[in-house]
Structure 1
Amino acid sequence: MGVTRRYRGESEKLLVPLLNLFTMETLKIAFVYDVVYPWVKGGVERRIYELAKRLARDHEVHVYGYKHWEGKNEIERDGIHYHGLAPAPKRLYLLGKRNPLPMLRLASRLRRRIGEFRWYDIVDVQNLFYPGALALKSLPSTVITWHEFWGPYWWRYLGPGGLPGWLSERALFTAEHHISVSWKTKHDLLRAGLRKPVPVVPNGVDVEFIQAIPPDELESDVIFVGRLISEKGVDFLLKALVKVKEELPDVRAVIVGGGPERKRLERMAKGLGLEKNVLFTGFLPYKRVIALMKASKVFVLPSLREGFGMVALEAMACGLPVVTLNAPMNAARFLVEDGKNGFVVDESQLSDTLASLLFDKAFLKLIGRVSREISAEYDWDAVVRLLLDVYV
C-alpha cells in the first residue's frame, strides 16, 4: 500500500476557495520555521527541504527562517527561495532546552512582513515555531503543520514555565487549516478539543538516494542517530548495552549526533565500562550517516518523545530492524509493526531484544527485507502528491 493510498481517507481539502482545482496552476507556497536545512539538520527542517525541493519543480516555493548563510538575506538554492529574516542565534539551546528568545525576535520580523505573506496561496507554518505560527495563524492561506502536540507535557518539560507553551498550542486551534505529520498527533489534537479537519501527511524517505549509498567501512552491531538531548533516551541504550556486553563482549555501538547531552553521555559510557564498545561520532554529513546505518545491524531509537521519527524510516530503508520504546509520546512506535520490521519494547526489555536480534542472523536478514518494503511506502514523491491533494 503506497503512502497516498494509506492516507487517502485523511486528505480533506483545505483551501478549495483559494485555488483552481481543475487547472492546478502554479502555486506560490511559503514554508515557515525558525531553523533551516541544510544548515541545521533536524527532522522538521529535513521535511521542509524534501517537500520544498520537489514542489519547486512545478511551483514557486519559499522558505522563511533564520539567516544561517553569509551574504544576501535572500538566496536561491535547489530551486527554493530562502529568506533569512534574522541572524541565526549562536545558541539554539539554553540549559538543554530550546532558547525561546531568538524565536520571539524572529517572529517580530515576520509580523513586520505580514503583508508579504498575503500574496502566497499556501503559508505552511510549523507549529513548533510557536511565536511565528501565532503571528501567521489568522491569514486565510495559513496551514498549521503539527509535528507534535504536547498538552500536559508542557508542565513536565518546564514546570510552571510551561504555561505559555500550553496556551500557545490552544491559541493555534483558532487557525482554519491544519495538517498532522502522524496519526498520534492527530489523535492528540482531536482529544484536546480541536474541531477542524486534520489530514495526516507523514514524513517520508528518499528510497532511491539511500539505495545508491554503499555501506561504510566502520561496521557496528547497533546504531543510534539523533540529537543528544535527554528526550532521546540514549541513557537507556547505554544501560542496555552493559547487559548485552555480558553475552557479546565485543558488541559495537555507534552513536551519531551531537547536542547538550553529549559530554554527559560520554562520561556515562566510560563509567559503565563501555569506552571500547561505544563510539560517539558527533554530527556527520547525511551520506555518511546513511552509510553507517547500512554498515550496522540494528537501529535503536530509545526516545521518550518523537513527533514522527523520520530517522526510523531512513533506518528501515537501509534494511535495519527498528527497536524503539513503548513511550506514550513516542510517535515512532507507530512506524514499527512488532516482530515484522522491528520491536516496540519497554526499557526493561531493551537489552534482551537487542541480544536476541544480534544472535539471530537469519531473522535479521528477514526483518531487514520487510523494513525496506515498508519504508518504500513513504517515498517523498508520494508524500508530495498527498500534500498537494490536501492543499487543493
Structure 2
Amino acid sequence: MKILLVNWMDMYNPLAGGAEVHLNEIFRRFVQRGDEVTFISSGFKGCTAYDEYDGIRIIRTGSRETFNLTAPKVLRKLDRKENFDLIVEDINKIPLYTPLYLKKPLLVIIPHLFGSTVFRETNPLLASYVYLTERLIPYIYRNVMFEVISKSTANDINKRGIKEDHIRIVHCGMDHETYSVDDTLSKFEQPTILYVGRIKRYKSVDVILKVMPEVFVKIPDARLVIVGSGDNLPELKRLAQKLGISEKVVFTGFVSMEEKVDWMRRSHVNVNPSPKEGWGLTNIEANACGTIAVASDADGLRDSVKDGETGLLFPYGDQKNLADKIIQILRNEELRERLTKNAIKWAGNFTWDKCARKTMEVVEEVIERKVK
C-alpha cells in the first residue's frame, strides 16, 4: 500500500512533540509490514528538502508559518505522479482541508483540537484564525473517517458535528523499554514535584508555580522541577522570582531522554495542569516509571488518569485543590504506594504495537468504505 502522510512537522523538526512521535511510531510499523509511506511536512532552519526517518520518506515544503499555503499544491502534484492508495492527514495545528482537492480514501488523525484554548496561547488575531479554521472541519470533512486518541477528543468532535459512526478511538502507545521502573533506583530524598513537557502558555505551567508557596509551607524540604523548553520559560522564571520560590524551583530546559526518564523515575509526583490535551502521554510515561500523576480534570487528562485509582484529578485552575492533592500525595505514603502500584499496571495497557495494529484496522475500514 502507498500511503501519503501529511502533518505540519516531522521528527527532525526541533519543535516536534508528542503528535509527531505518535505518527512516527504508528507509520514506521506500516513500513515494517511492507507499505510505502511518504510524509509531507513543513521546513525549518537548516533542513533539507528531502529526508528519511525510520524508513519513512520525508518531503518538506514551506515553513511552519506557510505550510497550509504551500502544502495543497505539493500534495496534488505528488498524488498525480505517484497515485497513492491512502491519504492520512494529522490535524494538530490548522486543517489543510484535503477533501477539497484529494479524491482518495482519507483518514484524519486528531490528537485534539484547540477550540477556545488557543486564545491562551497566541495573539487574538492568530487565535481567531485557528479557531475559525477548526469551525469548518465538520463541513469539509463530513464524509471522512476520524481516528482520535481519547474518548474526550471523540466527544469534542462529535459535539462539533462529526457523526459518531465516523469516529474511531485508538489510544496512544508508549515505549516500555525506555519508560520503565528501575529497581536499582530510589526516589529522591527531597520530596520532588515534577512537570515534564513543552513550556507553552496554554499548558498552564504557571498554575503549578502559584501553588508552590502553600506546598512549601506544609512541606519545607520539597522542590519543584520543570523539565522542558519553550517560549513561556522566561515568564515562568520571572514568576518564580516574584513568588519568592526561585531557590526551590529547578528549570532544566531541554534534557536528553535518559535525563527525562531519570526525573520521572525518581520524582514523587508528576503534575499536568493543562486545560486540554488529546491524551496526556506524559502521565502514562510517568506511571510506567513508577510515578503517579496529578492532573487537571480536563479533556484528555481525565482519560489518562483514573482519579483515585492511578492518580488524582483536580478542577482545572483550582489552585487550592491542586495544592491539597500534591500535599496529600507527598505526606500519605500508603496512598502513594497504592496509586503507584495501580499506575504501573495501567501503563502496561498501552503499547505502540497495539496502537499501530488498531490503526491498520481503521485503515482497512477506510479503504473498504471508499471502494463501496
TM bracket (short chain): 0.7 to 0.9
Structure 2 partner of 1:320: 291
**Residue in structure 2 matching 1:176, options 130, 144, 147:** 144
Following TM superposition, by how much is the alpha carbon of 1:68 offset from its aligned partner in structure 2, in angstroms? 4.3
**Residue in structure 2 matching 1:85, options 33, 56, 61:** 61
* Matched residue count: 352
Q: Report 1:41-80 matches (<5 A).
A: 41-58=16-33, 59-68=35-44, 72-80=48-56
Following TM superposition, by how much is the alpha carbon of 1:28 offset from its aligned partner in structure 2, in angstroms? 2.2
Structure 2 partner of 1:349: 321
1:134 and 1:168 in contact (8 A); partners too? no
Distance in structure 1 (CA, Å) of the matches to 2:9 and 2:203: 20
Structure 2 partner of 1:391: 363
Distance in structure 2 (CA, Å) of the matches to 1:155 and 1:263: 20
**Residue in structure 2 matching 1:363, options 331, 335, 342:** 335
Distance in structure 2 (CA, Å) of the matches to 1:220 and 1:57: 43
1:155 and 1:161 in contact (8 A); partners too? no
The answer to whether the aligner puts 1:189 opposite 2:157 as a matched pair is yes
Distance in structure 2 (CA, Å) of the matches to 1:357 and 1:116: 57
**Residue in structure 2 matching 1:375, options 337, 340, 347:** 347
Deviations, residues 307-331 of structure 1 (Å, cap 9, x unaligned)? 221111111111111101123xx31
Following TM superposition, by how much is the alpha carbon of 1:187 offset from its aligned partner in structure 2, in angstroms? 1.2
1:65 and 1:106 in contact (8 A); partners too? no
Letter in 1 for 2:313: V
Structure 1 partner of 2:90: 126
TM-score (norm 1): 0.81
1:103 and 1:129 in contact (8 A); partners too? no
The answer to whether the aligner puts 1:110 opposite 2:86 as a matched pair is no
Distance in structure 1 (CA, Å) of the matches to 2:231 and 2:245: 20
Q: Report 1:1-392 matches (<5 A).
A: 27-39=1-13, 40-58=15-33, 59-68=35-44, 72-86=48-62, 88-89=63-64, 101-111=65-75, 113-116=77-80, 119-134=83-98, 138-151=102-115, 158=124, 161=129, 164-195=132-163, 196-211=165-180, 221-327=192-298, 330-346=299-315, 347=318, 348-392=320-364
Deviations, residues 301-356 of structure 1 (Å, cap 9, x unaligned)? 000121221111111111111101123xx311221111111011122311111011
TM-score (norm 2): 0.85
1:215 and 1:293 in contact (8 A); partners too? no
Unpaired segments ≥5 residues, structure 1: 1-26, 90-100
Distance in structure 2 (CA, Å) of the matches to 1:150 and 1:302: 16
Compare relative contact order (CA 8 Å, sep 6+) and give the higher one, 1 or 2. 1
Distance in structure 1 (CA, Å) of the matches to 2:166 and 2:81: 23
1:177 and 1:197 in contact (8 A); partners too? yes
Letter in 2 for 1:262: L
Distance in structure 2 (CA, Å) of the matches to 1:290 and 1:302: 20
Deviations, residues 166-204 of structure 1 (Å, cap 9, x unaligned)? 443234433422211211111122222212520111211
1:117 and 1:123 in contact (8 A); partners too? no
2:310 and 2:342 in contact (8 A); partners too? yes
Following TM superposition, by how much is the alpha carbon of 1:271 offset from its aligned partner in structure 2, in angstroms? 1.3
2:173 and 2:352 in contact (8 A); partners too? yes
1:114 and 1:136 in contact (8 A); partners too? no
Following TM superposition, by how much is the alpha carbon of 1:241 offset from its aligned partner in structure 2, in angstroms? 1.2
Deviations, residues 245-271 of structure 1 (Å, cap 9, x unaligned)? 001112111101121211111010111
Q: Note closer, same or farther for the CA distance 1:354–1:75 as it changes in structure 2 (3 Å cut).
A: same
Distance in structure 1 (CA, Å) of the matches to 2:119 and 2:231: 21
Q: Give 3-state SS (helix, strand or coil) of 2:199's partner.
A: coil
Letter in 2 for 1:33: N
2:6 and 2:89 in contact (8 A); partners too? yes
2:85 and 2:104 in contact (8 A); partners too? no
Distance in structure 1 (CA, Å) of the matches to 2:307 and 2:28: 34
